[in-house]
Amino acid sequence: MNTFYPSYIEELDEAQKEAVLYDGGPALVIAGAGSGKTRVLVAKVLHLIDLGYAPSQIMALTFTNKAAREMRARIYTHAGAAARQVMMGTFHSVFSRILRTYADRLGYQASFSIYDTTDSKNLVKAIIKRLELDDKTYKPNVVANRISNAKNRLLSPQAYLSNKEISIYNTQSHVPRIGEIYVIYQEELKKNNAMDFDDLLFQTNILLRDHPDVSQEVKRHTGYLLIDEYQDTNFAQYMIARQIMGETGNIFVVGDDAQSIYSFRGANISNILTFQQTFKGTKLFKLEQNYRSTQTIVQVANSLISHNEAQIPKEIYSENETGELIQIHEALTADAEAEWAADCIKREAGKGLPFSECTVLYRTNAQSRIIEQEFRRMRIPFRIYGGHAFFDYKEIKDVIAYLKLAVNPSDNEAYSRVINYPRRGIGDVTINRLKETATNQNRSLYEQTSSENISQVPVNAATAKKLTAFHELIKNFVDKASEEISFSEIARNIISESGVAADILGDNTPEGLKRQENFKELLNSIDEYQVKVTENEQVPSLQNYLSEVALMTDQDTQQADQKDVVTLMTIHSAKGLEFDHVYILGLEEQLFPSALCTTASELEEERRLFYVAITRARKKCRICYARQRYRNGSLEIMRPSRFLGELSPTLIERTRDSMIDPYGTMRGSPHSRKHGDFLPTDFPQAASDKYLQNFDKKSPSKSPGRSGQKIHVGTRSEHDTLRSYDSIGSLNVGDTVMHNKFGIGTINALEGEGDNARATVNFNEYGIKKMMLKFAKLSKL
């Protein structure tokens, strides 16, 4: 036997070595978090080469180019030039190469183009226009998403059209002609000698299914198939693996069912759960030693994931140091939650911990706004990983552009950004002609589109009418901005009348739902600004709000080149990463688990997502939830996530904000209690740990059920929303009240009427504040 890599084999632990050296058919390697799966995959490739497999006969599939590059680099270190011959890459890159080789069998030329998401959406838009369909009903994003889902389920246009369930669903969704669009879409791709991203898997399946000689050729050239992150495979990828290797071939897959978190992208956890039934004679290996985290972190993660029914049994362990208890902190509000995380990180940095060894994780992109705001205030450098800073998202920039125009209609950048959003039938050619005319006439775009000046723009009458209509819309917003109503009302009216709200809220694709979360969070920021400025006895205005936004984005630009920064990201983006210190925020019902979670299988995926978050930590894991969160224009009581009650109580330390007391009593500085109660006593049955430990019993989270079984996820009673008072009639001197920022206080005086009603409140921690009741949103306790 050739032994050019014995050192690499010797570095493996016994479980890893057993998996690598096995060569008896299908193998499933369950690799727990931090168990060294990449090392195993690399060693497996080296071992296969040593056994005599030609490198070109080894196909290794990954989900990211980064993973493929890392594996190839490690293989090269030990095997040299042989690493370049291994057929390694993402599913899409490897199969695009195979498709080019046999393109003619599918009626394509080998030089076919690959359409990205933008190309695909543009083609869908063109088809919708050709069929004279309303693009507000047949939203291009929605249509493209359904076509993508169909391809990932291996449904051809004809199969899609003939599927009765799909037909009924589309009819009920008021889009009965999606099937027709799909047919034309696929015809246009073929005519353009193009495939979209999903076709790279869809067409590969057709190629292997309908052309036995090609299938045999691919099998002959694939002596061994390795697949990384197998828990993330979808139906199309699963079928390709089956067609290439059959039921007993040399297939070696590595994955962790406990980290299957991408069902919204089509990933199917059953692929890994049923692998042993699908591939006959499978040998199961378990990598259960976690080399990343402390023993405490691993044990807490185990206690959480043990509540899932759909999983392959395993007991992850660590031989690292015991480590600190997991801290669970109860914050008064979302602002206080962000402040707590910032304070903790600032203290750790003061002890010498690099900012780059800290990460803040959250369930949704929209949560980042408050965190970003607090980090800027505390001068903590940060970056957004796998996304944008909150005010850099397209949907946010679009709304801000409309608000800018209400203050300054001569802002040409803002004007051109939204003149055709939402779509008004004003194309790029028209906009370019408008810009050229305005420049020649030394006018702003706003001035040039007025009824007095529009005739100078070289467009037809119908287009001129659209341009002047937009001008009148902006003029209306300018007038609104000067009305004597609250800033937040002005902003909400502009957002509504512009059509942006309807456009965003009408898109229920996975990406659309993210845009909705961001949009709602922007509305929260507007309402919070209104309250903050009013409390300081200043007059809130659009102009000042926009100035604050501009200053925040400018700070982000200034710190963009820094390397020692805290990483902020969603948990989905954190998969595969690790940090010394991890902060997980927003552990509340309807947020985590998500309010969109309605079935037992969806709840189990939410639990796996929390498991992924905890296991990103090497040394410290801190978790936080807010008692109250500002949502949909009101301050709501939030219920702690049921998942907190599933963590081993002997391994957690609980703390709370000093102001938290439903009866107005001060508790002094934030204090810590091991194993004691930390829940607000005004929650039903929430006086002790028993509430959290038994929370899952209130909803059948532990029930195996069917994947479609309905569950309840923290649904609210009418008492879960604090009643906000905006007039004196419901309040009296001496009442104890709660405020979003200042906490608990006592009313000392009341004066004024209607919109001018004011209260003087003595807050336990912040002293005396005079507040306008219309904006203060005081809640009587």
Average pLDDT over residues 285-313: 97
Query: In 3D, which of 437, 400, 439, 435 has the Cα closest to residue 421?
Result: 400
Residue 107: burial class (beta carbons within 10 Å; 0-12, 13-18, 19+): exposed
Average pLDDT over residues 400-410: 89
Query: In 3D, which of 20, 37, 45, 71 has the Cα closest to residue 230?
Result: 37
pLDDT at 663: 37
Q: Please give the positions annotated as active site.
A: 37-38, 228-229, 259, 616
Asked if pLDDT for residue 148 goes beyond 50, the answer is: yes
Residue bearing tokens 């000046």:
453
CA angle, residues 254, 258, 262, in degrees to nearest 5 = 85
pLDDT-based confidence at residue 247 (cuts at 50, 70, 90): confident
What count of other Cβ atoms lies within 10 Å of the Cβ of residue 686?
Answer: 18
Annotated binding site for ATP: 31-38
Could you name the CATH architecture of 326-381+562-698? 3-Layer(aba) Sandwich (3.40)
* Residues 481, 496: Cα–Cα separation, whole Å: 14
Average pLDDT over residues 659-687: 38
pLDDT at 311: 95
Positive or negative, the Cα torsion across 273, 277, 279, 281?
A: positive
- Tokens encoding 434: 């408008």
- Tokens encoding 274: 């049923």
Average pLDDT over residues 369-394: 88
pLDDT at 561: 56
* C-alpha to C-alpha distances, 326 to 308, 341, 772, nearest whole angstrom: 21, 14, 41
CATH class (in words) of the domain with range 723-780 = mainly beta
pLDDT at 206: 96
* Residues 549, 401: Cα–Cα separation, whole Å: 12
Query: In 3D, which of 260, 287, 341 has the Cα closest to residue 606?
Result: 260
pLDDT-based confidence at residue 683 (cuts at 50, 70, 90): very low
Query: In 3D, which of 686, 598, 697, 673 has the Cα closest to residue 640?
Result: 686
pLDDT at 774: 67
Of 164-178, 399-413, 544-558, 569-583, least confident by mean pLDDT is: 544-558
Average pLDDT, the chain: 85
Q: State in Å, rounded, how far the first CA of the chain is from the last one.
A: 78
Asked if pLDDT for residue 550 goes beyond 80, the answer is: no
For 57, which DSSP code? G
Asked if pLDDT for residue 745 goes beyond 60, the answer is: yes
Of 12-16, 146-150, 412-416, least confident by mean pLDDT is: 412-416
Asked if pLDDT for residue 366 goes beyond 80, the answer is: yes
Tens digit of pLDDT for each residue in 322-365?
A: 999 999 999 999 999 999 999 999 999 999 999 999 999 999 99
- Tokens encoding 28: 């499933």
For 134, which DSSP code? -
> Per-residue DSSP letters for 726-766?
-SGGG--TT-EEEETTTEEEEEEEEE--GGG-EEEEEETTT
Cα radius of gyration (the chain): 29
* Residues 197, 206: Cα–Cα separation, whole Å: 15
The residues facing 561 across adjacent strands are: none
Asked if pLDDT for residue 296 goes beyond 60, the answer is: yes
Asked if pLDDT for residue 708 goes beyond 60, the answer is: no
- Tokens encoding 18: 């057993």
Query: In 3D, which of 252, 229, 270, 233 has the Cα closest to residue 576?
Result: 229
Of 219-228, 387-396, 570-579, least confident by mean pLDDT is: 387-396
* Residues 697, 77: Cα–Cα separation, whole Å: 52
Average pLDDT over residues 682-694: 35
The distance of Cα 710 from the centroid of its chain, to the nearest Å, equals 23
Query: In 3D, which of 135, 175, 119 has the Cα closest to residue 425?
Result: 135
* Residues 443, 440: Cα–Cα separation, whole Å: 8
Average pLDDT over residues 538-561: 64
Task: Give the number of C-alpha atoms closer than 13 A to the C-alpha of residue 768, restricted to the C-beta side.
Answer: 5
Asked if pLDDT for residue 489 goes beyond 90, the answer is: no
Average pLDDT over residues 527-548: 72
CATH class (in words) of the domain with range 6-103+202-289 = alpha beta
pLDDT at 659: 66
Whether 6-103+202-289 and 723-780 share one fold: the answer is no
The residues facing 62 across adjacent strands are: 90
Cβ pair 395, 410 in contact under 8 A = no
* Residues 495, 24: Cα–Cα separation, whole Å: 63
Positive or negative, the Cα torsion across 281, 282, 288, 289?
A: positive
For 498, which DSSP code? T
Asked if pLDDT for residue 228 goes beyond 90, the answer is: yes
Residue type at position 765? E
Q: In what order do the strands lie in the sheet with 743-751?
A: 724-725, 778-780, 736-739, 743-751, 758-763, 767-772
Cβ pair 9, 232 in contact under 8 A = no
Tens digit of pLDDT for each residue in 46-93?
A: 999 989 999 999 999 998 888 888 888 888 888 888 888 999 999 998
Alpha helix positions (H), 102-156:
117-130, 140-152
pLDDT at 535: 65
Cβ pair 565, 555 in contact under 8 A = no
- Indicate left, alpha or beta for 479 from its phi (over 0: left) and psi (-120 to 50: alpha): alpha
What count of other Cβ atoms lies within 10 Å of the Cβ of residue 407?
Answer: 19
Asked if pLDDT for residue 420 goes beyond 80, the answer is: yes
pLDDT-based confidence at residue 664 (cuts at 50, 70, 90): very low
Asked if pLDDT for residue 603 goes beyond 50, the answer is: yes
pLDDT-based confidence at residue 699 (cuts at 50, 70, 90): very low
pLDDT-based confidence at residue 12 (cuts at 50, 70, 90): very high
> Per-residue DSSP letters for 380-394?
--EEETTS--GGGSH
3-state secondary structure 594-626: ECCCCEHHHHHHHHHHHHHHHCCEEEEEEEEEE
The residues facing 771 across adjacent strands are: 759
Query: Please, what's the largest Cα pairwise distance for the chain?
Result: 92
pLDDT at 338: 96
* Domains of the chain, residue spans: 6-103+202-289, 113-192, 326-381+562-698, 392-522, 723-780
* C-alpha to C-alpha distances, 650 to 324, 616, 687, nearest whole angstrom: 12, 21, 18
Percentage above 90 pLDDT, the chain: 56
Tens digit of pLDDT for each residue in 196-212?
A: 999 999 999 999 999 99
Asked if pLDDT for residue 556 goes beyond 90, the answer is: no
Asked if pLDDT for residue 671 goes beyond 70, the answer is: no
* C-alpha to C-alpha distances, 704 to 231, 296, 302, nearest whole angstrom: 19, 28, 18
Annotated binding site: 31-38
Of 481-485, 571-575, 667-671, 735-739, least confident by mean pLDDT is: 667-671
* Residues 308, 601: Cα–Cα separation, whole Å: 9
The residues facing 88 across adjacent strands are: 60
Cβ pair 33, 255 in contact under 8 A = no
pLDDT at 1: 44
Tens digit of pLDDT for each residue in 89-136?
A: 999 989 999 999 999 999 998 888 888 888 888 899 999 999 999 988
**392-522 is a CATH 1.10.486.10 domain:** yes
- Indicate left, alpha or beta for 31 from its phi (over 0: left) and psi (-120 to 50: alpha): beta
The CATH number corresponding to 113-192 among 3.30.70, 3.40.50, 3.90.550, 1.10.10 equals 1.10.10
What count of other Cβ atoms lies within 10 Å of the Cβ of residue 234?
Answer: 21
Cβ pair 705, 600 in contact under 8 A = yes
Tens digit of pLDDT for each residue in 620-651?
A: 999 999 999 887 767 789 999 999 999 999 99
pLDDT at 537: 60
Tens digit of pLDDT for each residue in 438-487?
A: 989 989 999 999 999 999 999 999 999 999 999 999 999 998 887 767 77
- Tokens encoding 711: 């569950």
Average pLDDT over residues 249-272: 94
Alpha helix positions (H), 224-320:
235-245, 270-273, 275-278, 295-305
Asked if pLDDT for residue 518 goes beyond 80, the answer is: yes
pLDDT at 685: 31
Per mean pLDDT, which of 170-179, 381-390, 693-702 is the most reliable? 170-179
